[in-house]
Chain A
Amino acid sequence: MPSLENITNTIHTWLNNHVSSTLATLIEMLIVALLAMGLFAILGLILVLMERKVSAYMQIRLGPNRVGFKGSLQTLADTLKLVLKEGLTPNGADKLLFNLAHYVVMCAAMLILAPLAFAKGFQIWDINIGVLYISAISSIGVIGILMAGWASNNKYSLLGAMRSGAQIVSYELSAGLSVLCIVILTGSLRISDIVNAQQNGWFIFKGHIPAIIAFVIFIIAVTAETNRAPFDLAEAESELTAGFHTEYSGMKFALFFLAEYVNIFVVCAIGATLFFGGWMPLHIGNWQGFNHAMDFVPSSIWFTIKVFGLIFLIMWFRWTFPRLRVDQLLNLEWKYLLPLSLVNLLVMTVVAIMGWHF
């Protein structure tokens, strides 16, 4: 059966047989870079359309439906429009930082792709500190946001960036602590180990109640980290026009927008890997027949289904909860989520040591 793992192996052996090993490595690097860029472009196109369609159907309207089949090419048209727009730099802006900020944000978004397991044996870099790497890189993005807000010479941008920074760093703690719960169960930071440990059941089922609490905390924290509603104070349209990217236009704005959506994909991919078994098919204990039937679905499909399920959940939040005030937001994190996740971590430790998980 053709799987992504087989395809990569075939390409690898074919290259090594036909050209020298240095050239083969270079070509593989080029392929990886092109795939990463392609993933970015496709994610941008799909997620923006999905957001608009989901929003539309939740409000009983149709959403974009003119360009292409049922509006499927709408994002492409929007991208074309953005490419044709002039990129302005406001007077009095810090030119260097202003033009550097979107590179920082994009680099942070791109670098997180490295340890993600997209399918069985399909991973760019299976680093042994994968989870730590992800939490380290994901906090670089906030530097880009602060740079953009600070350099714009605009009060809304600065306020948006400060809010965004406070929010992202605060919720990073809860996200990190809930990720630690899974690390305790696995005893490894390597993504492939974490996925393989879920062969006979995903951690959200295996870890009992602490894992479910950890998942709920995680999904709240990542919603806040990606500046999504109901935590979108950083770009609360009615208060700050567009937050830290108010002054950005044309392609630079498009890059910020793209990085935002890619970040949603990335955090959902991490959530799916940690709690829902990544590319692992749904296996239930000793049900041999059922497990075999599930194995026929390719691992990449499983991963995509889980990730897009979580993305849909995050989009659903947007139309369910009203926006929080900044003090409510920080209260929620520091007075409820942080103590709760610390206690949850201890409970999880007890469960793991006693061997009460499945």
Chain B
Amino acid sequence: MGAAALLVLLFAAVAFSAGGILVAKLLVKGSSNPQKGQAYECGIPTEGTPWNHFNVGYYLFALLFLIFDVELIFMYPWAVVVKQVGIPALIEIIIFIFILFIGFLYAHKKGALKWM
């Protein structure tokens, strides 16, 4: 089966989830209660909004991830042909990883990898 498999599986996933939720909706007779809609935090009334500031560290790691993930994508085509190309491919990837590693060391030195 070709690319149609994607559509089929997508359909299967949506049908599975929607079917389950639909069955639950048909079976359940919910009652309304003002307490039910509250956030499940500690039992006491919720203070403030969760849509607030959070640790900047998450952004730094996301940026670092972006760099390395793009690098990973570049390495996929390389990995497929490396056995045929031989030594030149090895030298090239060493240069590539070396440049990347310098960037990584710079980030490390700047404290991007430290969790505050």
Contact = CB atoms under 8 A, between A and B. Distances in A.
B79 interface: yes
Contacts of A251: 20-21, 23-24
Interface in B40-85: 40-41, 49-51, 54-55, 57-58, 61-62, 64-65, 68-69, 72, 75-76, 79-84
A353 B72 CA distance: 20
A51 interface: no
Contact of A83 (B10, B16, B24, B113): B24
B101 A111 contact: no
Contacts of A40: 16
A327 B115 contact: yes
Contacts, number: 205
B99 interface: no
B1 A28 contact: yes
B17 A102 contact: yes
A252 B23 CA distance: 12
Nearest to B76: A132
Interface in A291-342: 326-327, 330-331, 334-335, 338-339, 342
A342 B71 CA distance: 11
Interface of chain B: mostly helix, strand, loop or mixed: helix
B5 A124 contact: yes
Nearest to B84: A187
B75 A180 contact: yes
B25 to A, nearest CB: 7
B8 interface: yes
A33 B14 CA distance: 11
A111 B113 contact: no
B36 interface: yes
Interface in A175-198: 176-177, 180, 183-185, 187-189
Interface stretch (A56-64, A151-159, A202-210, A216-224): A151-159
B62 A169 contact: yes
B29 to A, nearest CB: 8
Contact of B54 (A36, A83, A159): A159
A172 B69 contact: yes
Interface in B1-42: 1-6, 8-18, 20-21, 23-25, 27-28, 30, 36-41
Give the interface size class of chain B: 35 or more
Interface stretch (A66-74, A87-95, A267-275, A281-289): A87-95
Interface in A199-250: 241, 246-247, 250
B39 A331 contact: no
Contacts of B75: 177, 180, 345
A107 B13 contact: yes
B73 to A, nearest CB: 8
Contact of B86 (A87, A162, A326, A353): A353
Contact of A335 (B54, B72, B113): B113
A110 B13 contact: yes
Contacts of A189: 76, 80
B65 to A, nearest CB: 4
Contact of A184 (B21, B28, B83, B97): B83
A266 interface: no
B112 to A, nearest CB: 9
A183 B80 contact: yes
B82 A33 contact: no
A55 interface: no
B87 interface: yes
Contact of A330 (B23, B61, B81): B61
List the 6 shortest-distance A-B pairs measured between CB atoms, nearest first.
A327-B115, A110-B13, A91-B37, A125-B5, A251-B24, A33-B12
24 contacts: A29-B8, A32-B9, A33-B8, A36-B13, A83-B27, A88-B36, A110-B10, A110-B12, A124-B8, A125-B5, A153-B50, A156-B41, A166-B57, A173-B65, A173-B69, A176-B69, A180-B75, A187-B84, A334-B113, A335-B113, A338-B68, A338-B104, A346-B90, A346-B97
Interface of B: 1-6, 8-18, 20-21, 23-25, 27-28, 30, 36-41, 49-51, 54-55, 57-58, 61-62, 64-65, 68-69, 72, 75-76, 79-84, 86-87, 89-90, 93-94, 97, 101, 104, 108, 113-115
